[in-house]
Amino acid sequence: MTLERWLFSLFLLLVGVFSKASGAFVGINIGTDVSTLPSETDIVAILKAHQFTHVRLYNADAHLLKALAGSGIEVTVGVTNEEVLGIGESASAAAAWINKNVAAYLPSTNITAIGVGSEVLTTIPNVAPVLVSAMNYLHKALVAANLNFQVKVSTPQNIDIIPKSFPPSTATFNSSWNSTIYQLLQFLKNTNSYYMLNAYPYYGYTRGDGIFPIDYALFRPLPSVKQIVDPNTLFHYSSMFDAMVDATYYAIEAANFSGIPVVVSEAGWPWLGGAREPDANMENAETFNNNLIRRVLNNSGPPSQPTLPINTYIYELFNEDKRPGPVSEKNWGVLFTNGSSVYPLNLGTSGQITGNGSAVFCVAKSDADSDKLQDGLNWACGQGRANCSAIQSGQPCYFPDNLENHASYAYNDYYQRMQSVGGTCDFDGTATTTSIDPSYGNCIFTGSSNSSTSGGLLPPSALSPEVAPGSWSSNLQISKLQLLISAAFPALVLL
């Protein structure tokens, strides 16, 4: 083993130690069906600026993998569905793929996993017979390159391969896939890998014909008369997300396997839909993803596996406007390609938000009492003399139309106007300061580096003094996406 490879192995061992200490992480998927995709260098700059430490790619794009070198970001690379068949039929093709798309970039690019295909069993079932063969061939190629301890192999599958996921305790995999599922689970067990689950409460709710309340899909508290309970275990499920993850654990158990952790490779909510997609809206997307982040970062598992954190990748970084299908299919992104956030996201489970920006903002705490928030909003827009015109109907900051968003805007406007003469960011304990810019889309908060005025439309020239909309430079100032990845390893950056 070369010294470089030995040092890389030591690095990954330390990463493992730190990740266990840090708990669960929230990562991000990067799709590329985008008309004006930023350059690879700029995408990495975005990821670093927003403190993403885990990303999942749907392919093994050479330019992006090269750009990720030295970033420390953990990368899951993808074998495309078009590549699965050839790799599954040829060990030499698998070895060539590993050499070209993994070994060539290690250790500079921190590749830690390979996702073989995307929902192969439900999207290209004719390839299912060679899926596990492809995984085996890739793993053997990793062993030959002495990379099998650094890079895990798995395959993302949709929750739909479990025909009936509720109640979770009775969940089993579709029996028509018994042979493939058994081979898959055996492979994951033998290689100490994990099961990749694509779990979308949005579809669980919209296709559920009203069986479950929307609050259940959005992680909102349910009244006692509407509690979702598994009648066999009496476990209470506070969210559809938890139920989907638990159903997967029970299905794995029903196949006589245990000790295989579940990682959610995709979860999210579209923020814009067509006329027949009323639930795809900005308020629901903001609520879902904020609550998802909070849920994952509390480091607990579903009811049947309470000690196993649910590492999760949000779908997705940018809106993929080139994707076919309904309007909602194109609008899952948390960022616009010009760097602004689609809607504000909270960084973590606490009210205090941290970041690297030089400006300071005042925002409402996500767990604040609603009555106190309303009182604070009324005071700020009244006696406090905040300019609240931007949160009126039809104005840039009206959506998402909820109390927390409106209070945050009013609190910040008051704070920016009055802090020099003693104004504070407290509002009866419902507010906190942050260095993360809460601006999103055309809603600009005073104090942001993008604008010196509040609530105005952001003109194209304001995006950067040097570049036009849709393009990037490495030093472009961008608003900070309020999304914390708890498994960041600042100590390792120093190595």
Active site residues: 119, 266
Quick one: which of 73, 186, 67, 87 has its CA closest to 131? Answer: 87
Rounded to an integer, what distance in angstroms lies between the CA atom of residue 231 and that of residue 238? 15
Separation CA 261–CA 58 (nearest Å): 21
Q: Rounded to the nearest 10 degrees, how much is the dihedral formed by the CA atoms of 349, 353, 355, 360? A: 170
Cis peptide before 324 (omega within 30 of 0): no
Two structure tokens written together for 368: 């604040």
Distance CA 319, CA 337 (A): 8
DSSP labels, 352-420: ----S-SS-EEEE-TT--HHHHHHHHHHHHTTT----GGGSTTSTT--S-SHHHHHHHHHHHHHHHHGG
- Count of beta carbons in the 10 Å neighbourhood of residue 224: 6
Report the alpha-carbon distance of residue 297 to residue 436 in Å, rounded. 19
Beta carbons within 8 Å of 253's beta carbon, 6+ residues apart: none
CA dihedral 435, 439, 444, 448 (to 10 degrees): 20
What the block records as the tokens of 473 is: 């430079």
State residue 17 phi and psi, 5-degree precision. Answer: -65, -45
